[in-house]
Amino acid sequence: METIEPDKEKPDQLFQRVKVLGSKYKGEIGLSILFLYVFLLALGTVGEVWDVEWILDLPIFRPPGKY
């Protein structure tokens, strides 16, 4: 009788759990990502149109090499 080491079985179980959670909450995850994208898009637009410096200085909106 072969024994299975617990270290080898853990990643598969973890992957299975993530897969099940991903399929169970697929709609909510997609909606959350869409909401985050629209929020960041609106924030960047407000920063550009009204020249709000603190928004433009956030790391996500800074061009590479600035600071």
As a whole number, mean pLDDT of residues 38-63 equals 93
Report the C-alpha gap between 39 and 61 in whole angstroms.
Answer: 13
- Between 18 and 11, the more confident residue is 18
Residue 28's contacts (CB-CB under 8 Å, 6 or more residues apart) are none
- Between 65 and 3, the more confident residue is 65
> Domain boundaries in the chain?
26-67
pLDDT in tens, 15-49: 898 899 899 999 999 999 999 999 999 999 999 99
Report the C-alpha gap between 64 and 44 in whole angstroms.
Answer: 16
CB 60 within 8 A of CB 40: yes
What is the pLDDT at residue 38?
98
What is the pLDDT at residue 37?
98
What is the pLDDT at residue 24?
93
